[in-house]
Every structure is written in C-alpha cells, then in structure tokens.
Chain A
Amino acid sequence: MHQGVRISGFGGQGIISSGILLAYSGMLDGKHVSFFPSYGAEMRGGTANCSVVISSEDVTSPIVSEPDTVIVMNEPSLAKFEPLLKPGGLLIINSSLVNTKPKRTDIRTVCVPCNKIAEELGSAKIANMAALGAFAAQTQALSIEAIAKALPKVFKRAKPEILELNVKALKRGAEIN
C-alpha cells in the first residue's frame, strides 16, 4: 500500500490540519507516514497545499511530485494539481466550490459537495472532513475509525461535541460514490 497525496485549497479551509490529521491517522494505524506543508510567504485567504505519504514501506521523498490522490478544495487548486496526478490516480473535488470539470480522462474523479455537507451538519469549518472521508473510503488507505481516533490527538483543545461533528462529516464523505 502506498498513497502519495496532495491536498490544496485556500488558507483557512483546514488544508494543513487535514494533512497532519491524515499523517497522524496513518501513524496510529501502524503505517509509515510523512507530512510536508507549503510554507511560502502566505497569508489568510491565500493558497495552501501539503503533501502526505501513507505507506506500508519506508517513506522516501516527503514531497509528493506525482500524487496517487489529489484533493482540491477550491477552484485554483484544480488547474495547479490535476496535471501532477499519476495516470489512473484519484481526484477528489470539492464540488461546492469547484465548477470547472477536470480535463484528464486517464484519472478517476469523485465529486464531494464538502461545503454543502458541512453546512447541513451545522459547521462550515468541517468541509475538509467530508473530503477526508471520501479519501478513506475510495482508497482504503485508512479507515474512518483511524481518522476518528487521531482527531482528539491533533485537535487537542476541541470539545467532544465538535469532534463528533467532524466524525459525522467524515462519514458523510465516505458515503459518496
């Protein structure tokens, strides 16, 4: 099992924390993991992206240059990261904010209305969790349970009811086909 993942979106969409959460979940699951953030001169509302590797073997380069999966949370991220995907790779699109259709035909695309799901559950902040739920279900690299277990470790100060809301969003994302 090897998943090189790129997650991208606006600063504030929880891109970096999604990456840390994925890596943490993988670690708790006994996998080899790494996380690498973009750390340019960026600001709130600017773009953010990160690389995550989850593997049954040692992680080589932490910068994922040819991802197995790309998660795009906003419009500009699609143009930037779709071309990097490996042939046959998985593209998870936040269809609430991305209207453009992907150009490539040699990849698999899953559309998740992340913001819609989050709003229905009552918190705009958990849109990223819907995308991670879809990632877990589509790739089988991690279980929803593993991510749920990592949540309180990564978000140490979050209240239990908020964590529960996050788990609900994960599950909603996992139901998408």
Chain B
Amino acid sequence: MGEKLLMKGNEALAEGAVRAGCRFFAGYPITPQNEVPEYMSWRLSEAGGTFIQAESEVAAINMLYGAAATGTRTMTSSSSPGISLKQEGVSYCAGADLPIFFANVVRGGPGLGNISGSQGDYFQSTRGGGHGDYRVFVMAPNSVEEMGNFPLKCYETAEKYRVPAMILADGILGQMMEPIEFKFEAIDPKQLKAPDWALGVNEGRPKRIVRSYDLREGALEHLTLSRAKRYKEIEDKEALCEEKMTEDADLILVAYGTASRVCQAALKMARESGLKVGLARPITLWPFPKKKLSELSARAKSLLVVEMSLGQMIEDVKLAVECRLSVHLHARCSGAVLTGEEVFQAVQGLLKKSKKGEALCSR
C-alpha cells in the first residue's frame, strides 16, 4: 500500500488479484491479455499459489470450477474468443453458486477479429453469455489503478452473493501503463473464514455437495428462484456509477471503460467552449446503475451514449430512462480508435440541432 508503481493494466490486474487473495489461476494465451498469465506464472508460485497453463480455455474454466468448490479464490482471464469458449463453464459455476473471478480483456470481434481494444462483448458479459437463467457481477475499470483495485471488490461481491464476478476491460486498458497505488493491504487467504459450503476434509461434519443440476421435480426452479433473490439484492445494493459535471449539464455523455476516458477529453473540450456537457460512467455493468441514470434523465435534455461497440450499452440506458428523453449513439467498433475530437464533434452536432429546435428533447 502507498507506493506508486508504473504498471501495465494487465499486470496490475494480476497483481491486484494476488493481493486480493487469489491463489489459483488457470488460463490459456491470447493477445491482448498475455501479460496476465505471464505475470501469474511467477507471482503465484512466489505467493504459494498454483498457476496452470491449461491445454485449452475450456479446461481452464473447468479447473476454476474445481478449485473454487474448495473455497479458494480463483482467477482466469482471456480475450473475446477465449471468453466465448469459457461461457459453458461460467454457466456451470453460476449454477453451482461458485464465486469465481475472471477477466475479459476485450479485442475486436466478431470471430477471431483483431487484437485492438474494443467493447463488443458488452452483451455477452451482461446478458449471461452462457446458457440458463443466471447473472454475473460485471465491473468496468477505466484506468490501470482500477484494474489493480477492482479484483478485491469482485471477490468480495462474488463470495457475498455466491455469483461469478468479472472484470470487463479491453486491449487498451490491458496494454497501457499508468501509475497505480494499491488501496488495500494484501490479503492472506489463510486468514479468511472458510465458507460453509466449501468442499475439503469432511471429518465430523455433514457432507456437502457442489453441483449445477437438480433433477427432482420442481427443485431446480426453487433453487433458481432463491438465487434470483440474491440477484435482486445485488441490483438494489451494488450498482456503481461515477458522475462528472452533470449538475448543470444539458447533454450527458454515457460511457464506460476506455470510452469513458476518451469522453473525459471531449468533456474538457466542450466545457472550454462553454457547452454544458456532463459525463456518467457506469462502473458496474451488471448491475447496471439504472437508478442513477433515471435520476440524471430528469435533469438533462438528452443523452449521448459513446461506445466502442455498435450500440450495446445503449439498450440498458434506454431501459433505465424509460423514454423520458432522447438517447443518441456515437459508436466505433471492431478495434477502431475512438478519439476525444470525434466525440466533441458529435456533441457539437447534437447541441446545434437542439438549438435549431430539431426536437432533441422528446419529453
């Protein structure tokens, strides 16, 4: 704690997970997240943990299932196509109430795509990704500092509600270097209370079962509904959103992750030219900060959603504001570089239209 380090996002993510008590990592290489397993390969053995380069993504996620069943803090990471391969395992972990932690350092898609930063996996992350009725707690850092400090929040939330948790980053966040300060004391997992569902030595206690199925009549619905209560609680309590200059804003930009950094540049240009623009940044993508967005929609005249994807988060924004105001989109996709200048131009274009009375505001 305290010391400022210059770290790569991927390395900060790995170091943050180890400091948060991760002692098991299994993964398979893919750009632009390779620094995560590379870092874990030496760092975990130093910390007394286990690193496995698995034979495939599918193997890696299923190794997590096993390790997490013992109550160990686990991690895997990959990039878009690799995360797709892991979705079956994530669904199994969700079905078995296992609090695994994983990170997606997103690249351009679909398909094999390219290795540039992108946000095309928003739907996959927030809508389930794998099969079945389940949710994953999703955090979206926008700096190296958050890449390093969010894993702890992910473990704590995952364990509290017994759900998988993930960090949705992108190639830019993974590859960039920035100063970072870890804001928590490193955790020794041996000091953590063993969960009352974890497998292990069962001498003197009733047996425990970790599984993602129940074939008895009506039993699975009962199980899923009890899990849904926890989802509701997460939605009520765990949504996070950052605001910048929204108090007097006519137009509010809505963006997460790298796109929110770019929007800060546009915000600065807009304010310098006297335009009343603000920024809302969802920090958790599921739960989506609906309440906050709804509040903001009562104040602003319009919203501009800025994404490095073809309009995915905008659906959640629209649901949150329930058509109370017009919601616009500025999108780049498949690894294209979004710039502050282009977002500023989009802002100018919208505000000009609204001046001419071209019904920006549909209230």
Contact = CB atoms under 8 A, between A and B. Distances in A.
Nearest to B343: A61
Contacts of B32: 39
A27 B177 CA distance: 11
A23 B6 contact: yes
A60 B172 contact: no
Contact of A39 (B6, B31, B179, B262): B31
A63 B115 contact: no
B264 A39 contact: no
Interface string B257-293: 0100110110010000000000000000000000000
Given A34-B176, A36-B176, A39-B175, A65 B337 contact: yes
A61 B262 contact: yes
Interface residues of B, number: 23
A110 B115 CA distance: 35
A10 interface: no
Contact of A58 (B4, B115, B264): B264
A151 interface: no
B261 A62 contact: yes
A7 to B, nearest CB: 14
A60 B115 contact: no
A5 interface: no
B179 A63 contact: no
B214 interface: no
Interface string B5-34: 010000000000000000000000001100
Contacts of B171: 39
A85 interface: no
B128 interface: no
Interface in B214-273: 258, 261-262, 264-265, 268
Given A61-B262, A65-B341, A35 B115 contact: no
Interface string B332-346: 000001111100000
Contacts of A62: 172, 176, 178, 261
A37 B337 CA distance: 13
A65 B179 CA distance: 21
A66 B344 CA distance: 14
A59 B145 CA distance: 12
A60 B341 contact: no
Interface of B: 4, 6, 31-32, 115, 171-172, 175-179, 258, 261-262, 264-265, 268, 337-341
Which 9 interchain pairs have the tightest Cβ spacing? Answer: A60-B265, A35-B177, A60-B264, A65-B339, A36-B176, A61-B262, A62-B176, A27-B179, A61-B265
Interface of A: 20, 23-24, 27, 32-37, 39-41, 58-63, 65-66
12 contacts: A27-B4, A27-B6, A27-B179, A34-B176, A39-B32, A39-B175, A59-B178, A62-B172, A62-B178, A62-B261, A63-B337, A65-B339
